[in-house]
Structure 1
């Protein structure tokens, strides 16, 4: 078995109003908009990428914001919680901060030795902040909305809901993840050395209805591949095992393959390179609408169809 992902690359969800989405993730959660582009399969819709300063793999939550899409439903066959990593002493600060922003949070709980604070974004997407007791060495995005000592360090984990565990657990083993423990109906798997940014929890709920992917739900979860040759090798290995995998797709800032795990969640394997600075300087990430070469001839039409976005100046240090 050659597949050994080192952790999460990104999570992609479906949002509603794009300005409300940007306001929440930039101002309330303090992330950076590292790329403003479009859904390559539906260019009349934004694809917004939020992460750390440069959008390194493992820091990214991305959105297709469809303003008029119906409300989704969390259930089995989905990633039902996306968790971010924060410093060990910051959960109380975040509970107060979110309360001041009008966000209702759950009580602070402890799970696997970590403090967890759960809440929903304005479209109902289930999020959590998790404080790992050993900390998280990744650098935060330092902006004027969230103090650096409390800021999000990147993704911590995702939680998948399934009706039956065995086949899902087997596939995670095929992706190089290791089973690390179980708490009641929650199983944890880790990639690489584990820890924040490399974890997936599988919650087994046989009686729960299937989820409906739309506004307020996760569309897919992406895992890291170091480069294109490795990704191609992994794809061939998955095909040999009978997995229905897409061809390698050019997402401009990485290359992608997609397939479903047996429980129903759409998974992706995305390359670490080339990254988000290939078409604009680091200090200007996210400010301008970027299109792939094959959509540039339609730029005027696409820009006319997209609503305007107002971004805080802190998103681009040179403009602040």
Structure 2
């Protein structure tokens, strides 16, 4: 049994309003859910994705105002990729980033694909990766209410890069526990003397189903703050297979959350040996279980088990005015 690919990546923001402007206006993604952190209902949890909230297209952000900066290091998800259709799209985005003052690098090869690295307004490291007809995880649906042409739209999540002090323990979890396949590697872009980046794939493959690992021994551990990645979630197709994966993690004796019902999906959280937080999440029932696809993200969404507390929750939340400039 195999996981399907990446489900979502969750990041910390200290500036939710600016975050919304960046991902909707500049990146052309859709706000598909405005919720709360279910473990701390005094803060917001924003989800951006494709036009219909497809699993595997979401970047999510926990809003923590006045959060300090991230200090990079090992035991981290050091970059997150977003898929686009072609190398031509990268040139579109490179020009757009230049015009809009987005910090970015040059177009280079990673894992034999054309890529363009850039940063959001809080220093989150992101990479656009061109699919160029490559087979693999199905792309998402472009959000047509943005000004991004469909042929250049963000199509979903690509690979995540894990930076660790030692690659072997994390690779073991991926291959022996989560059933990923090691499919090769590529030279580090940091230069000579740095270890190669190793590539692991699951499901139908392609950039939406990969984890990249780079060992950087000697670096301090990351101190997570604004712009840092909190966790990465991998896709389970349904609740029947969810039970299998919950049991599998428990059999391997990794400390874990046990079953967690997030309403929009079922989840299980555990830390791999280098300390990175992994989540396994179901595709079902989906983000449109409580909102029509036409109205996704328009109102504060609470799962049924929090709905009775709506008044108290809304009183504790700070005012949040989301608009693109």
TM-score (norm 1): 0.93
1:118-177 Cα offsets, whole Å, 9 max, x none, are: 111111111110112325762322223211111111011101001101111110012011
Give matches, 1:293-312, under 5 Å.
Answer: 293-304=304-315, 305-311=317-323
CA contact (8 A) 1:87 1:135 kept: no
Moved more, 93-102 or 140-149: 140-149
Is contact 1:113–1:132 with CA below 8 Å preserved after alignment? no
Match of 1:316 in 2: none
Structure-2 residue corresponding to 1:17: 15
2:183 is matched with: 180
2:168 corresponds in structure 1 to: 166
Counterpart check, 1:55 vs 2:53: yes
Q: What SS does the aligned partner of 1:90 have?
A: helix
Partner of residue 121, structure 2 = 122
**Residue of structure 2 equivalent to 1:291:** 302
Q: Is the 1:287–1:311 Cα contact (8 Å) retained in structure 2?
A: no
> Following TM superposition, by how much is the alpha carbon of 1:312 offset from its aligned partner in structure 2, in angstroms?
5.4
Residue of structure 2 aligned with 1:149, choices 151, 173, 183: 151
* Count of aligned pairs between the two proteins: 311
Cα RMSD between the aligned structures?
1.6
Report if aligned partners of 2:111, 2:185 keep a CA contact under 8 Å in 1. no
Question: d(CA) in 1 for partners of 2:132 and 2:111?
Answer: 10
Aligned residue runs from structure 1 range 268-283, under 5 A: 268-283=279-294
**Partners in 2 of 1:5 and 1:255 — Cα distance?**
14
Question: What SS class does the counterpart of residue 148 from structure 2 fall into?
Answer: coil
After TM superposition, the structure 1 stretch with the greater mean CA deviation from structure 2, 223-232 or 270-279, is 223-232
Give TM-score scaled by structure 2 length. Answer: 0.92
Q: Which residue of 2 aligns with 1:235?
A: 246
- How many angstroms does 1:244 deviate by? 1.4
Unaligned runs of 5+ in 1: 314-320
User: Deviation of residue 237 (structure 1)?
Assistant: 1.6
Q: Please list, as runs of the form range in 1=range in 2, the aligned pairs for 1:240-279 lying within 5 A after superposition.
A: 240-279=251-290
After superposition, residues 80-119 of structure 1 pair within 5 angstroms as 80-88=78-86, 89-119=88-118
Pair 1:202 & 2:204 matched: no
How far, CA to CA, are the matches of 2:303 and 2:274 in structure 1? 33
Structure 1 residue 307: Cα displacement: 2.2
Does the CA contact (< 8 Å) of 2:53 and 2:288 recur in 1? no
Distance 2:240 2:146 in 1: 40
Output the CA distance in 2 between the equivalents of 1:296 and 1:240: 35
Displacement of 1:44 after TM fit? 1.3
Deviations 1:189-223, CA, capped at 9 Å, x for gaps: 01112102101100111122111122110000000
Gapped runs of 5+ residues in structure 2? 188-195
